[in-house]
Amino acid sequence: MDNLLEFLGYTLAIGIGATVVMDLWAVFIRRFFGIHGLNYAMLGRWIGHMTRGRVRHQSIADAAPVYNEAPVGWAIHYATGIAFAAILLLVVGAAWVKSPTLLPALATGVGSVIAPYFIMQPALGLGVAACRTPAPNAARLKSLTSHTVFGIGLYLAAQLLAVF
C-alpha cells in the first residue's frame, strides 16, 4: 500500500506542479507578447455538454453556456496534468522521482500535445490540429510550446520532490 500511496503522492505533486508551470507560461506570454491561451471555461463548457451527450461542436464558443463552466474547465485542466504525470510515472517508474532526468518528462510533455490536436480541438470546432482557425500554424506552435513547457514543468516538479 505504501508504494501505491507514494505513486499517488508523486503523481499529484508532479502533475499539479507541471500544470502550474504551464499556467505561469501562459501568464508570461499573455502579459509580454499578448498571446492568449485556451479559455478554460470553454473546456468546462465542452465537458458540460458531454454530460448531455454532445461531444462535437461546430464552435464551442457558440454553444450554450453551462453551469460552473469556468471552475469545471480549470479542474479538468489540472486533472489532465495529473493524468499525464501518472502516465509518465507508469512508464518510467516512481523511482525516476528520486533522480529525475529531462528526456522522459520532455517526451511526455511534447507527446501530450496529441490530445488537443486530435481530440479537443476537433471536438471544440477548431479542426484537427487547429486547421479551422484563422492562423493554424500559430495555434499549433502555441499548443506545442505550451505542452513542451508542461514537460519541463514535469521535470522541475520532480526535481523539487527529489530535494525533499
Query: How confident is the model at residue 1, as a pLDDT?
Result: 43
Number of C-alpha atoms within 13 angstroms, CB side, residue 148? 6
Name the DSSP letter for residue 64: P
pTM, 2 dp: 0.94
Cell output for 94 = 516512481
In the chain, what percentage of residues exceed pLDDT 70?
A: 99
Question: Is the pLDDT at 131 greater than 90, yes or no?
Answer: yes
Question: Can you give the residue ranges of every domain in the chain?
Answer: 2-163
Averaged pLDDT for residues 117-127: 94
For residue 94, name the pLDDT band (cuts at 50, 70, 90). Answer: confident
Contact by Cβ (8 Å): 115, 102 = no
Query: How confident is the model at residue 163, as a pLDDT?
Result: 87
Question: Is the pLDDT at 16 greater than 60, yes or no?
Answer: yes
Cell output for 30 = 499573455
